Chain A
Amino acid sequence: MAATRGSSRRVFELFVSRIPWTLTTKELKDYFAQFGTVRKCMLPFDKETGFHKGLCWVGFSSEEGLHNALQKDSHILEGVKLQIRQQKPRSFRSQYADEGVADMS
């Protein structure tokens, strides 16, 4: 990763919503890997119910990955259309830092 060292600390984040309950981090990470290297994939689960909240933050290691993902018209995973948008960098950590989510980097 020597070539991208300059930006290696930055993560290019995608906010994914309307994720069906049947999916988990693994499926999402595998899916989004087609657009670029996925550095992070956070899908918070509600410890009270055992279901996740349908929201996920996918972090690409390059801007290109993020752009590729954003450019695709629709993202359909196991028959369900996911909603995606770019996540503003600021709130990523602060918002979900304490959720105890699985960081799959």
Chain B
Amino acid sequence: SFIALQKSCLQLFMGKSYSLLQSFTHLIYQARLFAVAPHQKGKVQEEPVLSIQNKQAQNFDWALNKLDSSVRRTGRITRALLLRIFHDMCRTGYPSSNQALLLLRSCGSLLPEVPLCERTELAHMIWGKLQDLGAVYDASHYNALLKVYLQNEHKFSPTEFLSKMEEANVQPNRVTYQRLIAAYCNEGDIEGASKILGFMKMKELPITEAVFSSLVTGHARTGDMENAENILSVMRDAGIEPGPDTYLALLNAYAEKGDINNIKQILEKVEKMEGNFMDRDLMQVIFSLAKAGYPQYVQDIMSHMRYERGYIPDAMNLTLNLITQGLEDTAFQIFKSFPSLLSENHSESSMDYGNFFLRHCVTTDKLKQFCDELKEANMHSSPLQFTLYCALESKKADLAINLMKTMKEEGLPLRPHYCWPLLVGYQKEKNVQGTIGVLKAMHELGVEPDVETYTNYVLTNFDDIQTFRALLQENDCPFETEGLSVAELRHEAIYGTLENITELLYTDGRYCQTPPGPTEAVGYFLYNLIDSMSDSEVQAKEEHLRQYFHQLKKMNVVIPTNIYRGIHNLLDIYHVPELIKVCGYINTELGVSALEEELEKLKAEKQPIGNVLKQLIVALCAEENMQKALEVKAKYEPDMVVGGYAALINLCCRHDNVEDAMNLKEEVFRKDSSVALDTNKYLALVQVLGKHGRLEDAINILKEMKEKDIPIKDTTVTFFFHILNAAAMRGGVETVNRLHESILMLGLAKPSTNLCSPLITVHLEKDDVPAALEATIDCYKKYGTIPRLHDILCRLIEQGNTDLLQKAMDFMSQERGEMTMLYDIFFAFLNTGKYKEAKKIIETPGLRARPARLQWFAEKCIAANQMETLENMVEMTQKLFECDREQMYYYLLKLCKISNDWQKADATWTKMQEENVIPRERTLRLLADTLKNNGQEVPFDVPEIWYEDRIESATVSENNPEKKVLMLCKKSIFCSNIFNIRTVVFIISPWCSTIYYRIRSIAETHIKGFTLNDAASSLLIITQVRRDYLKDAMSTLKTVVESDMVPIPLAVTRLIQALAMKGDLESICAVEKMVENLAASIGLSRMLFVNNTVLAHIKNNNLDMAVEYIEPLFISGMQNPDSPIPSMSYVFRKVIEERLEPALEKLSAMAERLVNQFGVYKPATDLFLQYVDAGRVDDARFLLQRCGGIAEQKKILMAFIETRNLFVMKCTAEEKLLTDISCNFYFFPLVLDNDLASAKTLFEKVKAANIHTDEIFLKRLAVLLRNAGEPVPFTEPPVSVFSD
């Protein structure tokens, strides 16, 4: 039929006869239900994350791609997928308006497996939730909701709907009214429809076919078929020819009445009118028939199916829809008609059909019957097993058990693991009854659980096996089986081991290490490294870093410029100019005059001038001063080096000075024949020689390139093309052919369409189309490429040269296939304005979208500003199978933007709504840009608002990293809606507050209800503290608290500590007040404020105040024994660290006073421990001597030991004091660490020092020795001491 088609095309084109066109099937489609952009990105998650931007872009498109691929593959999505995307969107916080649109749009017929009312509920739930999250709705959202209502047959009041829109200040548009009319008509409410029609007329909106189709339905639903039919003539009177939509409405109307005769008549009539319904349209009729209770006529409609592309997914959706509506029998009938079942696909591997059918059927009682039938028809090898699988998967226990019963009856084997999926579910829910129920059912089915069943899925659910056995007994299940006993043993073993492993994992640092992240560029590492250091750290480690930079340099590590700039900026902030020098490049190029002076000087001093001479020549070349450069060369010829010649040759070529260029080349080769120029200089020579007709010389240069093995890059090939193309434009057929041939013969480039196109161009330039066609066919034979075919076809069409056109098409379809040929001729007709012919071509049955080809033509139109052509293409491809509509509209909007045609852009947007196309964010941006540029209001929420700065940024961002970062942040805010905490804090930290506030203000003005989330704010506070921007940190915290967010405790702690070190009592108070109500709930200890207040006093040199403040706390604490004793270890530690000796003295005196006067040991013990920790052993000893009771504070001491690094403790134990308590105290870690050798040494020392050893000490040593199998050389104390 394709061959016939070509011929008919030609006849059509020549205007001979339309009769042949009847062989064209005029495809009439119901508007494609859904189309979103394909945006083939591959598997996002598998790609290594290259940069933050990339990642955000990926997140941004993720939902769209996910939904899209499902819809494109199958024409439906599952509720689970939709909900997952919805929840993800909610979690990330800021749904953009088109993400909202995408979700809403998906709540209609794309969910064939979900009952109608549930779909609408879903839509309402999504609508409300996203609105709460700040999604802004415009007309497109309301229209999408209307469409969902219509698809779900949801009853609602159109007037209320309109007033809701009015309340929300959203203007209804043409599509809104059309859908409202449809809603009225579905209810048979002609009056209501007329009212809306009145609005449309008032607003002078065009009345389209869609409106009339609705009216057909409307009249039919009132039972008035006569008037329904009459609508068609009303349409004609209005100048609109009834199209497929109208006839479909009529068909559905008759279907609802079960009037098969009229249906047949209409079908016949439409066929006669050289039209045809798509399979998808007929499926609607089937659905109407089945639903209205006339399944007996379904077969009649089936006979009209053409099984075109896309039949199977559409029919699957019909089947699913029918099942959802409880019409399983018709569903099964449709399913059995699938063409793949009838065709050759029955191979020995016996493909199973109908899985989707069975899966959705699992609720009905006809399941068994369907399984039998499938099995009998040899369509499915194991339908029962598969159904069981589905039941298990969806955790339908009763159904699963029933199915197993059936299977048993059928003599199919039942195995213990069939129950595992059910048991897994109960295991997760800790549902003991459920588990027992399954076991009971298994027992009844005669399947005894095996060891694996018990071990992995049952026993884990019970605390002890006895209870389990008892339960089994109660439920008449066997409880003394071999399987159970073995499992019991195994269970214990596994359980024990797991404990140990878990502990190990938690306590042993070796297992806790975070895995090394993906090897990012060294630059990022460096940036992060430097960023994570504070000013003082960088300054302190300057020498270190300097060496590191040197080392990197030695290793030839190159840092990308943009990151270098970031590092540069950081270093700048840290005031380390020396480091910047090491890190950066030093540019010390001299100017022409300086070089001339230098040259003269060297010459006068009789020193070698070669190098300076070369620099001078290069500098002159850079100034394009050919005359002077040649003079300099002539003057110092003996000292010229190759580099100088090369630059000079290139300069001559640029100045079209072919003579000098060749002379110079010969000159340098006389000096050294082995010299080779670089690629571009050779190419420049070839170019200029070609231009001056010195073909042989040019070919010789090419040969030389080959001989000297000059490297060929991609750019080289492009250069070849330009050389050839320039020659073609000059019309030199021989030049083009010979050069082209030489390039390919010498193997300098591989033949490509681009490289070959000058061979054709040269003929087209002379308007010799036959020669051009010959040349392109010749190209195909020689090189397998078909360059410039489109131009040739266009010329032939314009010239009306049918014979050659026929020849070209024959050639194409023979060599490249009919599909390619059809696209070629389609584009050629479009391009020459022969739209009628183009339309016939693109409507060829079986033709499918070829995105790459469509893109090629669209971009061609955009480049050439061919609006009409592009519009026609977009319109014509509406029903093209698998055509990405969003992409097509994107092309159109792109051109609207370029030609600044906002009216067209606006109309395009309305059309997109009518066609139910979800715009991607880039498309919305384009549209918004176009409208804004023309001072129009943007009637929707724009996903990214950074376009405001686009022009500004394009010029500035290159050399202004701060600006760049700002842009990046904006992008991260607007594109992703996912406020990636780490990213943003990472990005903003170097510029910290100023930039952060700018970003926030931008975000706040543009995103409704924008705030940083809790974690991000907290991180910001920490960063601000680190950078010593305490005021900013305070105000960030204030904002956090005021907006009812909860800061991370660490953020508050850091801030308070920093304030204390500054002695800023007032701010500490202020912060304390701010978090007053939060402190307890987020676990901020009151001592945080107390201790830091003490420290602040100390920092202010107000020691008395410090003591006066803290001392009463301990005394009053004593009176209330229930309250925990406050700890001021932090204060001691800080004071010791900072070597604030006077303060330490005061505090020490206070601690002793508390011991002596009040018996409060906590501060003294804490101080003692801090001394030990700091290695101030003498101080510790003196304190201990003065306050012996410290040794009795075992709880505090032990708690301390357990948190300390054992290694540190061991070291101190070796050499430090040994007293009554401290030997035990030091000894404990050794025991914990199982370090027997050290423990024995310590014991010897203790004995030698004649120190009293307490029972715990001895007991522990005894255990250690015994474990090591060594004798215990002392009387082991009784066990009871341990329980102390």
B349 within 8 Å of A by Cβ?
Answer: yes
B13 within 8 Å of A by Cβ?
Answer: no
Q: Is the CB of B457 within 8 A of A50?
A: yes
Q: Are A49 and B417 also in contact (CB < 8 A) when A20-B382, A20-B385 are? A: no
Q: Which residues of B contact A51 (CB under 8 A)?
A: 389, 392-393, 420-421
Q: Which residues of A contact B424 (CB under 8 A)?
A: 47-50
Task: Return the CB mask of B349-380 against A: 1 if under 8 Å, else 0.
Answer: 11000000000000000000000000000000
Task: Return the CB mask of A1-32 against B: 1 if under 8 Å, else 0.
Answer: 00000000000000000001110100000000
Q: Which residues of B contact A52 (CB under 8 A)?
A: 417
For the complex, what is the distance from the CA of A80 to the CA of B456, rounded to whole Å? Answer: 28
Q: Is the CB of A79 within 8 A of B381?
A: yes
Q: Is the CB of B385 within 8 A of A50?
A: no
Q: Which residues of A contact B415 (CB under 8 A)?
A: 22, 24
B415 nearest in chain A by CB position = A24
Q: Which residues of B contact A102 (CB under 8 A)?
A: 452
Task: Return the CB mask of B924-959 against A: 1 if under 8 Å, else 0.
Answer: 000000000000000000000000000000000000
Q: Are A80 and B381 also in contact (CB < 8 A) when A47-B456, A50-B457, A102-B452 are? A: yes
Q: Is the CB of A45 within 8 A of B381?
A: no
For the complex, what is the distance from the CA of A45 to the CA of B421, rounded to whole Å? Answer: 10
B423 within 8 Å of A by Cβ?
Answer: yes
A24 nearest in chain B by CB position = B417
Selected from B381, B382, B413, B421, the residue in CB contact (under 8 A) with A50 is B421
Q: Which residues of B contact A50 (CB under 8 A)?
A: 392, 417, 420-425, 457
A85 within 8 Å of B by Cβ?
Answer: no
Q: Is the CB of B382 within 8 A of A45?
A: no
Selected from B382, B385, B418, B421, the residue in CB contact (under 8 A) with A49 is B421
How far, in Å, is B1147 (CB) from chain A's closest CB? 53
For the complex, what is the distance from the CA of A78 to the CA of B350, rounded to whole Å? Answer: 12
Q: Which residues of B contact A21 (CB under 8 A)?
A: 385, 389
Q: Which residues of A contact B389 (CB under 8 A)?
A: 21, 51
Q: Are A79 and B350 also in contact (CB < 8 A) when A22-B385, A50-B392 are? A: yes
Q: Is the CB of B456 within 8 A of A22?
A: no
Looking at A22, A50, A102, the one whose CB has the most chain B CB atoms below 10 A away is A50
For the complex, what is the distance from the CA of A102 to the CA of B450, rounded to whole Å? Answer: 12
B382 nearest in chain A by CB position = A79
For the complex, what is the distance from the CA of A87 to the CA of B744, rounded to whole Å? Answer: 46
For the complex, what is the distance from the CA of A47 to the CA of B425, rounded to whole Å? Answer: 10
For the complex, what is the distance from the CA of A80 to the CA of B415, rounded to whole Å? Answer: 17
Q: Which residues of A contact B348 (CB under 8 A)?
A: 74, 81
B423 nearest in chain A by CB position = A50
Interface residues of B in 412-437 (CB under 8 A from A): 413, 415, 417-418, 420-425
For the complex, what is the distance from the CA of A15 to the CA of B423, rounded to whole Å? Answer: 28
Q: Is the CB of B420 within 8 A of A81?
A: no
How far, in Å, is A13 (CB) from chain B's closest CB? 22
How far, in Å, is A92 (CB) from chain B's closest CB? 21
By size class, the interface of chain B is 20 to 34
Q: Is the CB of A81 within 8 A of B392?
A: no
Interface residues of B in 454-481 (CB under 8 A from A): 456-457
Q: Which residues of A contact B422 (CB under 8 A)?
A: 50
For the complex, what is the distance from the CA of A28 to the CA of B389, rounded to whole Å? Answer: 19
How far, in Å, is B493 (CB) from chain A's closest CB? 13
B428 nearest in chain A by CB position = A48
How far, in Å, is A2 (CB) from chain B's closest CB? 31
Q: Which residues of A contact B425 (CB under 8 A)?
A: 50
Q: Which residues of B contact A78 (CB under 8 A)?
A: 382
Q: Which residues of B contact A80 (CB under 8 A)?
A: 381-382
Q: Which residues of B contact A22 (CB under 8 A)?
A: 382, 385, 413, 415, 418
Q: Are A81 and B421 also in contact (CB < 8 A) when A20-B382, A47-B456, A50-B392 are? A: no
Task: Return the CB mask of B504-537 against A: 1 if under 8 Å, else 0.
Answer: 0000000000000000000000000000000000
Q: Is the CB of B456 within 8 A of A81?
A: no
Interface residues of A in 59-105 (CB under 8 A from B): 74, 78-81, 102
For the complex, what is the distance from the CA of A102 to the CA of B417, rounded to whole Å? Answer: 13
Q: Are A81 and B349 also in contact (CB < 8 A) when A22-B385, A47-B424, A48-B424 are? A: yes
For the complex, what is the distance from the CA of A3 to the CA of B424, rounded to whole Å? Answer: 45
A78 nearest in chain B by CB position = B382
For the complex, what is the distance from the CA of A74 to the CA of B946, rounded to whole Å? Answer: 61
How far, in Å, is B457 (CB) from chain A's closest CB? 7
For the complex, what is the distance from the CA of A48 to the CA of B421, rounded to whole Å? Answer: 8
A73 nearest in chain B by CB position = B348
For the complex, what is the distance from the CA of A48 to the CA of B424, rounded to whole Å? Answer: 7
Q: Which residues of A contact B349 (CB under 8 A)?
A: 81
Q: Which residues of B contact A81 (CB under 8 A)?
A: 348-349
Q: Which residues of B contact A49 (CB under 8 A)?
A: 393, 421, 424
For the complex, what is the distance from the CA of A79 to the CA of B385, rounded to whole Å? Answer: 12
Q: Which residues of A contact B382 (CB under 8 A)?
A: 20, 22, 78-80
Q: Which residues of B contact A79 (CB under 8 A)?
A: 350, 381-382
How far, in Å, is B379 (CB) from chain A's closest CB? 13
For the complex, what is the distance from the CA of A20 to the CA of B412, rounded to whole Å? Answer: 15
How far, in Å, is B500 (CB) from chain A's closest CB? 16
How far, in Å, is B311 (CB) from chain A's closest CB? 28
For the complex, what is the distance from the CA of A22 to the CA of B421, rounded to whole Å? Answer: 12
How far, in Å, is A72 (CB) from chain B's closest CB? 14
Q: Which residues of B contact A47 (CB under 8 A)?
A: 424, 456
B460 nearest in chain A by CB position = A47
Selected from A20, A45, A74, the residue in CB contact (under 8 A) with B420 is A45
For the complex, what is the distance from the CA of A47 to the CA of B417, rounded to whole Å? Answer: 12
For the complex, what is the distance from the CA of A80 to the CA of B386, rounded to whole Å? Answer: 12
For the complex, what is the distance from the CA of A24 to the CA of B418, rounded to whole Å? Answer: 10
Q: Which residues of A contact B418 (CB under 8 A)?
A: 22
Q: Which residues of A contact B420 (CB under 8 A)?
A: 45, 50-51
Looking at A22, A52, A78, A81, the one whose CB has the most chain B CB atoms below 10 A away is A22
For the complex, what is the distance from the CA of A52 to the CA of B421, rounded to whole Å? Answer: 10
Q: Which residues of A contact B452 (CB under 8 A)?
A: 102
For the complex, what is the distance from the CA of A61 to the CA of B420, rounded to whole Å? Answer: 31
How far, in Å, is B599 (CB) from chain A's closest CB? 67
For the complex, what is the distance from the CA of A45 to the CA of B425, rounded to whole Å? Answer: 15
How far, in Å, is A101 (CB) from chain B's closest CB? 10
How far, in Å, is B554 (CB) from chain A's closest CB? 37
Q: Which residues of B contact A74 (CB under 8 A)?
A: 348
Q: Which residues of B contact A48 (CB under 8 A)?
A: 424
How far, in Å, is A41 (CB) from chain B's closest CB? 13
For the complex, what is the distance from the CA of A88 to the CA of B1132, rounded to whole Å? Answer: 63
For the complex, what is the distance from the CA of A3 to the CA of B690, rounded to whole Å? Answer: 81
For the complex, what is the distance from the CA of A81 to the CA of B393, rounded to whole Å? Answer: 23
Interface residues of B in 389-426 (CB under 8 A from A): 389, 392-393, 413, 415, 417-418, 420-425
For the complex, what is the distance from the CA of A22 to the CA of B403, rounded to whole Å? Answer: 14
How far, in Å, is B242 (CB) from chain A's closest CB? 53
How far, in Å, is B396 (CB) from chain A's closest CB? 14
How far, in Å, is A23 (CB) from chain B's closest CB? 8
Q: Which residues of B contact A24 (CB under 8 A)?
A: 415, 417
For the complex, what is the distance from the CA of A100 to the CA of B742, rounded to whole Å? Answer: 66
Task: Return the CB mask of B1147-1160 against A: 1 if under 8 Å, else 0.
Answer: 00000000000000
Q: Which residues of A contact B381 (CB under 8 A)?
A: 79-80
Q: Which residues of A contact B421 (CB under 8 A)?
A: 49-51
How far, in Å, is A47 (CB) from chain B's closest CB? 7
How far, in Å, is B851 (CB) from chain A's closest CB? 33
A81 nearest in chain B by CB position = B349
B451 nearest in chain A by CB position = A102
A43 nearest in chain B by CB position = B417
Q: Which residues of A contact B417 (CB under 8 A)?
A: 24, 45, 50, 52
- Given A22-B413, A51-B420, 9 new contacts (CB under 8 A): A21-B389, A22-B382, A22-B415, A24-B415, A49-B421, A50-B417, A50-B423, A51-B392, A52-B417
Q: 11 pairs across A/B with beta carbons < 8 Å?
A: A21-B389, A22-B385, A50-B392, A50-B420, A50-B421, A50-B424, A51-B392, A51-B393, A51-B420, A51-B421, A52-B417
Q: Which residues of A contact B (CB under 8 A)?
A: 20-22, 24, 45, 47-52, 74, 78-81, 102
Nearest 3 A/B pairs, CB to CB: A50-B421, A50-B420, A50-B424
